[in-house]
Chains A and B, each alone.
Chain A
Amino acid sequence: QSALTQPPSASGSPGQSVTISCTGTSSDVGGYNYVSWYQQHPGKAPKLMIYEVSKRPSGVPDRFSGSKSGNTASLTVSGLQAEDEADYYCSSYAGSNNFVFGTGTKVTVL
């Protein structure tokens, strides 16, 4: 299984929106509605932000939203805030209790 493809970087000014893509195949992203997104600040463990494509765990601001079309999933962060500056990773179920992560995107708040 190959890593899902994400853009290396994305940026936006405070208050703006940024969207990150996550491209896989029909064996992972396209085959299941089980895409999740993780936020990782430097030196910290990843934190779950989105699961099952578009669901938010309790405590995650509704500024974070997810979607999927075909083999590509997306994470949108609206109303960017300074604390949103972090690395973001997508992940997808790949069948047979296997998972694959994305290559990661560094989000910069300008």
Chain B
Amino acid sequence: QLQLQESGPGLVKPSETLSLTCTVSGGSISSSSYYWGWIRQPPGKGLEWIGSIYYSGSTYYNPSLKSRVTISVDTSKNQFSLKLSSVTAADTAVYYCAIRAGYYYYYMDVWGKGTTVTVSS
């Protein structure tokens, strides 16, 4: 059973780049035809899909965040990452990594526990 664990700085300054990593355990990130994704949840608010990367390297981003988001995979470390540039207080949220099991699967069935990121000077 695949498991995910988010990690990264809990505090980021405005205008800087938020960088998070999701470590995959229980399987190889390169041997599975999964989509590796990120979702966030501002305090007291709902979930927002950020984007995902297919095992082939193709990326898909929320149109509202597309200009600031980069998702990548590091197969040597069995990790995938999120970078969000030019952050503001509105990017303060719990960030979750999650797995979509493949091309014919239109849901996320494995989630990390989440990591809180605060944007503040």
For A, the interface residue count at a CB cutoff of 8 angstroms equals 26
B residues less than 8 Å from A89 (CB atoms): 46-47
> Is A46 part of the contact surface with B, judged by Cβ < 8 Å?
yes
CA distance A46 to B39 in the complex (A): 10
Please state if B35 and A98 are interface contacts (CB–CB under 8 Å): no
The answer on a CB contact under 8 Å between B106 and A52 is: yes
Provide 22 A-B residue pairs closer than 8 Å at the C-beta atoms, listed in order of the A residue: A1-B62, A1-B64, A3-B46, A3-B48, A32-B106, A34-B106, A34-B107, A36-B106, A38-B47, A45-B112, A45-B113, A46-B39, A46-B108, A48-B107, A51-B109, A52-B106, A52-B107, A89-B47, A99-B49, A103-B46, A104-B45, A104-B47
- Knowing that A3-B46, A91-B108, A104-B47 touch, tell me 4 more A-B residue pairs with CB under 8 angstroms: A36-B107, A48-B109, A51-B109, A97-B52
Is A24 in contact with chain B by the CB < 8 A criterion? no
Say whether B111 faces chain A, with CB atoms less than 8 Å apart. yes
Interface range for B: 20 to 34
* CB pair B63 A1 closer than 8 Å: yes
A residues near B (Cβ < 8 Å) are 1, 3, 32, 34, 36, 38, 44-48, 51-52, 57, 89, 91, 93, 96-104
